[in-house]
Amino acid sequence: MTYSYDQLAQWDKQYVWHPFTQMKDWLEEEIIIVARGEGVKLYDTEGREYYDAFSSIWVNIHGHNVKELNDAIIDQLGKIAHSSYLGYGNIPATLLARELVEIAPPGLVKVFYSDNGSTAVEVAVKMAFHYWRQCPNPRPEKNKFLTLMNAYHGDTIGAVSVGGIDLYHGTYRDLLFPTIKVAAPYCYRCPFGAKAGQCEKECEQALEKAFAEHAHELAGCVIEPVIQGAAGMITQPPGYVKKVRELCDRYDVLMICDEVATGFGRTGALWAVNHDGVSPDLMAISKGLTGGYMPLAVTLATQKVYDAFYGDYAEMKTFFHGHSYTGNQLGCAVALASLELLKKHNLVTEAARKAGVVKKVLAEFNELPHVGDIRQAGLMVGIELVRDKLTKEPYDWQEKMGIKTCLAARKKGLITRPLGNNIVFMPPLVSNDEQLQEMLEIIKASIIQVTEG
Ligand code: PMP
């Protein structure tokens, strides 16, 4: 049975409530209904093609409709789609756990499955809180989290609590557990008033001060290492992640890294923490885990954390957390196939090389009168549009410059989503040099059209 665009659009608008979307706008818009994907392109019901320049909300690595990934799912479907992970193991989840521990930053040796990035962070936060109640020398007073302003860790209540973006999180403040919040680095608009390149690492000093003041009550410190994604792709100065590790060690605080967006080669290293050569105590991964094919997430933990939960049942040390779809076979099977492709095509090294290509093209964007800042970590890019380049005056959010630019790009055959006044460029890792170039040309033309048009 095939349905017309008009019919589908009508049903969408009648029945669906879309995420992160003002439905009034949605109902008034001409919507796109994606019908299929092929490589780095998406095709709508009307046969129009678009570059998937934000990797379908930052998840896609190998492109769409990839035979090896399709086959992995089909093969697994012929065996079983899902069985309970509560009380039973399964083959793909076991194999994937082994594989993940092998490639994880050193010391992360246990795999706890869940379904999405938010839950992977939620699990890490609960584990860290719980850890201090039953580690060898319990310190239950260590029950708070140090978090960064502008952080985004997902939309469940725990993940929102450790987040710091007012637009998404402010409404729920009364419902959230309080955290110790420290200003995050943002070199273009330094919250400490320092000038990029001439600072005294005030952001690190602020961190140090917060640790010194609050260590006695800190269970963990949660960060998006190297780059804060949803905040607007805000990169941290080199060494910042290492500093967090040093402070966590010095003050006996668990380091929780949210690599949901940055994992699997996205920043030009397998893990963003690799850039600073550190290992966290807990690490949340998701998005790229299945190559963008199935919902799956993992919280990786150290032996030390795991051991705190280990004991006789009567000791009541059990981590009582789990989801119906924990360890889902289809997700784990396609994740295994995705990792194989990642290795086979040397995609992490390739992503680092391609980041160089992107950087070169992006350098030309600096000439544009309304491009204020360009931030890049591998193939994770944010282009900040400003009203006034000299004063860095931002566009008023009501002007929707980010949204307008992305709509202009869509008309030119490219799909991405803005973050406020920041244009996101986060292509699938398999995009070739020519495609990267073409995508950036479309984005550049769209910026010029909207800001100078
Ligand atoms: N953490 C980070 C750093 C993210 O970027 C995201 C999603 N953009 C999440 C957590 C939440 O992941 P999910 O949307 O899968 O719940």
Helix (H, G, I), strand (E, B) or coil at 69: helix
Dist. CA 162 → ligand 1 center (Å): 12
Tokens of 93: 């989840």
> Which residue in this structure is represented by tokens 């040309």?
441
pLDDT at residue 112, rounded to an integer: 98
Residue 450 and residue 400 in contact, taking contact as beta carbons nearer than 8 Å: no
Residue 164, annotated as binding a ligand: no
DSSP code at position 254: E
pLDDT at residue 206, rounded to an integer: 98
pTM of the model: 0.98
Q: Is 90 in the pocket of ligand 1 (CB under 6 A)?
A: no
Instruction: Looking at the CA of residue 159, tell me the nearest atom of ligand 1.
Output: 10
DSSP string, 99-155: HHHHHSSTTEEEEEEESSHHHHHHHHHHHHHHHHHHSSS--TT--EEEEETT----S
Structural domains of the chain ordered from first start: 32-62+346-452 (3.90.1150.10), 71-344 (3.40.640.10)
Instruction: Looking at the CA of residue 121, tell me the nearest atom of ligand 1.
Output: 10
Q: How far is CA 95 from CA 111, 155, 230, 327, in A?
A: 11, 29, 32, 11
pLDDT at residue 197, rounded to an integer: 79
| Amino acid of residue 453 | G
- Compute the distance between CA of residue 74 and CA of residue 445 in angstroms, rounded to an integer: 41
Helix (H, G, I), strand (E, B) or coil at 324: coil
Tokens of 420: 């406020």
- Compute the distance between CA of residue 132 and CA of residue 150 in angstroms, rounded to an integer: 27
What residues have CB less than 8 Å from 157, skipping those under 6 apart? 172, 175, 176
pLDDT at residue 359, rounded to an integer: 98
What residues have CB less than 8 Å from 226, skipping those under 6 apart? 235, 236, 240, 241, 262, 267, 272, 273, 275, 276, 377
Q: Is 153 in the pocket of ligand 1 (CB under 6 A)?
A: yes
Residue 277 and residue 225 in contact, taking contact as beta carbons nearer than 8 Å: no
Q: Is 258 in the pocket of ligand 1 (CB under 6 A)?
A: yes
CA end-to-end span of the chain: 43
pLDDT at residue 1, rounded to an integer: 80
Residue 114 and residue 120 in contact, taking contact as beta carbons nearer than 8 Å: yes
- Compute the distance between CA of residue 333 and CA of residue 338 in angstroms, rounded to an integer: 9
| Residue 372: CA count within 13 A, CB half-sphere | 19
Please give the sequence-ordered ranges of beta strands (E in DSSP) within 169-213, or none if there are none.
Answer: 180-182
Q: What is the ipTM of this complex?
A: 0.99
- Compute the distance between CA of residue 157 and CA of residue 175 in angstroms, rounded to an integer: 8
pLDDT at residue 30, rounded to an integer: 93
- Compute the distance between CA of residue 411 and CA of residue 94 in angstroms, rounded to an integer: 45
Give percent of the chain above pLDDT 70: 100
pLDDT at residue 169, rounded to an integer: 83
**Which residue, 397, 398, 452, 445, is CA-closest to 421?**
397
Residue 410, annotated as binding a ligand: no
Q: Is 115 in the pocket of ligand 1 (CB under 6 A)?
A: no
pLDDT at residue 85, rounded to an integer: 97
Q: Is 376 in the pocket of ligand 1 (CB under 6 A)?
A: no
Kindly report the protein residue whose alpha carbon is nearest to atom 1 of ligand 1: 153
- Compute the distance between CA of residue 239 and CA of residue 146 in angstroms, rounded to an integer: 18
Tokens of 141: 């007073």
pLDDT digits (tens, 9 = 90+) for 108-164: 999 999 999 999 999 999 999 999 999 999 999 999 999 999 999 999 999 999 999
Tokens of 319: 């981590």
Dist. CA 412 → ligand 1 center (Å): 28
pLDDT at residue 314, rounded to an integer: 87
pLDDT-flagged residues of the chain (< 50) = none
Dist. CA 153 → ligand 1 center (Å): 5
Ligand 1 pocket mutation pick from 122, 125, 153, 256 by most atoms within 8 angstroms of CB: 153
Instruction: Looking at the CA of residue 230, tell me the nearest atom of ligand 1.
Output: 5
Buried b (16+ CB within 10 A) or exposed e, 279-302: bbbbbbbbbbbbbbbbbbbbbbbb
Dist. CA 197 → ligand 1 center (Å): 30
What residues have CB less than 8 Å from 38, skipping those under 6 apart? 63, 64, 65
Kindly report the protein residue whose alpha carbon is nearest to atom 13 of ligand 1: 117
Residue 386 phi, psi dihedral angles, 5° rounding: -130, 155
Residue 288 and residue 271 in contact, taking contact as beta carbons nearer than 8 Å: no
pLDDT digits (tens, 9 = 90+) for 424-452: 999 999 999 999 999 999 999 999 999 99
pLDDT at residue 168, rounded to an integer: 87
- Compute the distance between CA of residue 389 and CA of residue 226 in angstroms, rounded to an integer: 25
With the C-alpha atoms ordered 66, 275, 246, 104, is the resulting torsion angle positive or negative? positive
